[in-house]
Amino acid sequence: MNAIQTRLAALGVYRPDPYAPEDLDAYWADTLQRYANKPLNDSVTPVEPLFPLADVYDVRYEGFDDTPIAGWYMIPRVESGKRLPCVVTFHGYGGGRGYPERYAQWLLLGYAVFAVDVRGQKGDTGNRLASGNGTAKGWIGQGIMDKHNCYYRAVAIDSIKAVEWVGGREEIDPDRIVVEGGSQGGGIALLTAALSERPALAVANVPNMCHMDFGLLNSTGSLTELSTYANEFPDRLDVVLDTLSYFDILNLAERIRVPVILSVGLKDTICMPETVYAAYNRLTCKKEIHPYPFMGHEHIGYHNRKTIEFIRRHFG
């Protein structure tokens, strides 16, 4: 085997031990039950679109708390009465929902889109989460010392509620909902697929939130915020790791039951290939992964085509 084949072979059998807490299932059962009937308090405002063949709405809804989460809801103009597939998409770390035209490819396929902000980042959504501890720069350290009131728990519920909102729309086919994203968004897509029964497919490009104990040691991305915090307070490292363990896809992989497609770059130093394969190798659902030996932390056009083909195979 050449060097690339050797590297891929090693990653293909990479199965680090999960570090799941004993009460993982109980934690999520309690969390999901607690928020199951929380009202969305949503609003839907029409927006003048740039596209003549799509309707665009500015949506605000509530998830974990009373923070209004902003999203673009876009519907292609098709024959009346037709129920549409929908792509619920999450952005990368430090980003936002951007502009509606960013999601044109899904509209061209005849799919509706719900593109939501991740709270507090560079979008139109604030963050009313009260943190019991200070943090290094960034967001993921908010509440890291309290697994019941941490940033990742808030994001998880926000994302589940996004899928819930879409699933309640009369123009959406509830059996054809995709959760999709890259980097942070890919991790959130997998997390949502693990915790919600509504998604039918999950698309995760160079996903974060996988094998986060390894990432804490080695990643050059958002997890450096937590490593900086733990370096300042070494006595808090065990609590940081314990909190992360409830949200790590490595520990939640077997809860995902729907087909999944992932991408991974072998030169990625942010969402490192070890982290992606660690989670992928524990998935028990229908799955496929596409490794790119010379790709870093990015999303290439070739894989975008593979993603579209994957969705069309399942949805027609």
Task: Just list the catalytic residues.
Answer: 183, 268, 297
Instruction: Determine the Cα–Cα distance for residues 309 and 315; give it in Å rounded to an integer.
Output: 10
Instruction: Determine the Cα–Cα distance for residues 48 and 313; give it in Å rounded to an integer.
Output: 33
- At 171 the pLDDT is 95
| pLDDT band at residue 200 using 50, 70 and 90 as cut-offs | very high
Burial class (CB in 10 A: 0-12, 13-18, 19+), 234: exposed
For residue 182, the domain's CATH number is 3.40.50.1820
How many domains does one find in the chain? Answer: 1
Burial class (CB in 10 A: 0-12, 13-18, 19+), 2: exposed
Span 50-77, average pLDDT: 96
| pLDDT band at residue 265 using 50, 70 and 90 as cut-offs | very high
- At 192 the pLDDT is 98
Span 271-299, average pLDDT: 98
In the chain, what percentage of residues exceed pLDDT 90?
95
In the chain, what percentage of residues exceed pLDDT 70?
99
Instruction: Tell me the pairing of strands 201-205 and 260-265.
Output: parallel
- At 250 the pLDDT is 98
Would the pLDDT of 81 be above 80?
A: no
Q: Which secondary structure element, helix H or strand E, spans residue 181, and what is its range?
A: strand 172-182
How many residues make up the chain in this entry? 316
**Cβ atoms 279, 211 nearer than 8 A:** yes
- At 316 the pLDDT is 79
Would the pLDDT of 80 be above 80?
A: no
- At 51 the pLDDT is 86
How many angstroms separate the Cα of 18 from the Cα of each of 22, 102, 186, 193, 212?
Answer: 11, 37, 20, 19, 11
Residue-range definition of the domain harbouring residue 45: 3-315
- At 269 the pLDDT is 98
Per the prediction, the chain carries an average pLDDT of 97
- Phi/psi for 223 (5° steps) reads -65, -15
| pLDDT band at residue 49 using 50, 70 and 90 as cut-offs | confident
- At 78 the pLDDT is 79
Instruction: Determine the Cα–Cα distance for residues 201 and 193; give it in Å rounded to an integer.
Output: 8
Q: What is the pLDDT of residues 134-192, one digit of tens each?
A: 988 899 999 999 999 999 999 999 999 999 999 999 999 999 999 999 999 999 999 99
Q: What is the pLDDT of residues 89-103, one digit of tens each?
A: 999 999 999 999 999
**Cβ atoms 266, 297 nearer than 8 A:** no
* Alpha helices in the chain, H assignment, sequence order: 3-12, 24-35, 104-108, 151-167, 184-195, 212-218, 224-232, 237-245, 249-252, 273-280, 301-315
